[in-house]
């Protein structure tokens, strides 16, 4: 009976405090060894021990969060994941002798594990929030979308408002209708229009239909005439969508004589505003679709190799007159993430993203 009482007295907070102390002890030894310019083998051994203890502590936290229904467990997991990923990369580089341990990583660990008398959250929410803001740019929009639902309205607005256009646009697309409306309300119409303009027409229509008519009209008014007509057509004529309206123009294209080396040198700037990143569509001077290059093939080819030599010529293409059901069947049969859309003359008029077809199917 006395033993049971002792077990009950050892609370989750005690377990976390004990683990935190172990992390700080290893961190202290590592800091001392670094300051004394100790042997690299000793430093790497201590850092490996630190990674293991931090990983163990985060695992304990996540189990406790789940068992107690902690409301912020998803974004805490993101912080854990990103910090551990950073630590493991540093560990691998140090073990390979390529670089020394980055002191900034040690400062982050110390900030998360040092005692804070004013912190009333056993999972150190305030300290982790600072790190969460640091790793924002590394997070996928799907992760951000799930994390945002765990913050209050002011926090969401602050986090979302600081994102770059591509990440904010992807996140707005991923969140649910209610959260979409809240995020849109936290931004200016001009800023929302920037985010909408970065989406494909189908994605834009999916978001705008969750807003009020007045909000949708104001946002569409900020876009160009062609974009507005495409999006409006999808919003108003959902039974007879045209693949021309669904296809995005944010794809990467090149001529057949471009070399793989030149493509790789230009890829970063080409992909900055693209919605399809894996394929480069090879077109003639007249705009006809000649083939498609998978970026994996371009990476493996010799730099002087021309795109015409590595492109796929038996590429499946959709006609603009095909139905959405036909497009969905083709995407499923061949397992592509996207398919080009051509007109009657074989000119490339856009690229249909598989996700947009699924979006239309939900309408």
88, 117, 138 — which closes off a domain?
138
Report the chain's mean pLDDT, rounded to a whole number: 85
Q: Is 299 exposed, middle or buried (0-12, 13-18, 19+ CB in 10 A)?
A: exposed
Residue 85 has pLDDT above 50, yes or no: yes
Nearest one of 170, 162, 53, 34 to 104, comparing CA atoms:
34
Angle ∠(68,71,121) on CA atoms, nearest 5? 75
Kindly state the DSSP code that residue 210 receives in the 8-state scheme. Answer: T
282 assigned to some structural domain = yes
- Name the region of 97 (left: φ>0; alpha: ψ -120 to 50; beta: rest): left
Residue 7 has pLDDT above 50, yes or no: no
pLDDT in tens, 185-221: 888 999 999 999 999 888 899 899 888 777 888 899 9
Q: Answer yes or no: do 28 and 110 share one domain.
A: yes
Q: Answer yes or no: do 121 and 152 share one domain.
A: no
243 assigned to some structural domain = no
247 assigned to some structural domain = no
Kindly state the DSSP code that residue 259 receives in the 8-state scheme. Answer: B
108, 138, 168 — which closes off a domain?
138
Distances 44 to 103, 113, 211, 216, 350 between C-alpha atoms, Å: 13, 20, 54, 56, 52
Question: What separation, in Å, do the N-terminal and C-terminal C-alpha atoms of the chain show?
Answer: 61
Q: Answer yes or no: do 127 and 185 share one domain.
A: no
pTM metric for this prediction: 0.60
pLDDT in tens, 105-137: 999 999 888 877 777 777 888 888 888 888 888
Half-sphere CA count of 251, side-chain side, radius 13 A? 26
Helix (H) or strand (E) holding 342, with range, is: strand 338-342
Q: Answer yes or no: do 314 and 328 share one domain.
A: yes
Total structural domains within the chain = 3
CATH number, domain of 180, equals 1.25.60.10
What is the average pLDDT across 259-285?
89
**Per-residue model confidence (pLDDT) at position 106:** 92
236, 271, 303 — which closes off a domain?
236
Least confident of 5-9, 94-98, 177-181: 5-9
Q: Identify the domain containing residue 310 by its residue range.
A: 252-361
Q: Answer yes or no: do 160 and 214 share one domain.
A: yes
């Amino acid at each position: 009976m006395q033993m049971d009482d002792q077990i009950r007295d050892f609370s989750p907070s005690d377990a976390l405090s004990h683990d935190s102390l172990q992390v700080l002890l290893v961190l202290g030894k590592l800091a001392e060894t670094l300051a004394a310019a100790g042997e690299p083998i000793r430093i790497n051994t201590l850092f490996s021990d630190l990674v293991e203890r931090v990983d163990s502590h985060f695992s304990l936290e996540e189990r406790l969060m789940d068992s107690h229904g902690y409301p912020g467990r998803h974004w805490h997991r993101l912080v854990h994941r990103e910090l551990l990923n950073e630590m493991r990369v540093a560990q691998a580089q140090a073990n390979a002798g390529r670089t020394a341990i980055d002191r900034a990583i040690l400062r982050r660990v110390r900030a998360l594990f040092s005692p804070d008398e004013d912190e009333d959250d056993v999972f150190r929410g305030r300290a982790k929030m600072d790190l969460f803001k640091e790793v924002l740019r590394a997070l996928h929009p799907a992760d951000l979308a799930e994390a945002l639902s765990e913050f209050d309205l002011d926090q969401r607005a602050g986090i979302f408002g600081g994102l770059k256009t591509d990440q904010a646009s992807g996140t707005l697309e991923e969140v649910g209708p209610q959260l979409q409306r809240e995020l849109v309300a936290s931004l200016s119409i001009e800023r929302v229009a920037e985010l909408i303009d970065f989406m494909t027409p189908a994605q834009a229509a999916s978001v705008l239909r969750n807003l009020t008519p007045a909000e949708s009209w104001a946002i569409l008014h900020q876009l160009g005439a062609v974009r507005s007509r495409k999006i409006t057509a999808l919003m108003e004529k959902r039974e007879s969508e045209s693949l021309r309206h669904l296809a995005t123009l944010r794809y990467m294209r090149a001529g057949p004589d471009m070399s793989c080396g030149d493509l790789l040198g230009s890829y970063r700037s080409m992909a900055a505003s693209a919605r399809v990143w894996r394929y480069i569509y090879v077109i003639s001077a007249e705009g006809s679709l000649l083939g498609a290059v998978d970026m994996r093939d371009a990476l493996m080819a010799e730099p002087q190799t021309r795109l015409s030599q590595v492109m796929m010529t038996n590429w499946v293409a959709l006609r603009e007159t095909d139905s959405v059901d036909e497009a969905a069947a083709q995407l499923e049969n061949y397992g592509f993430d996207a398919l080009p859309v051509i007109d009657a003359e074989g000119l490339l008029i856009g690229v249909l993203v598989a996700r947009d077809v699924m979006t239309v199917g939900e309408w």
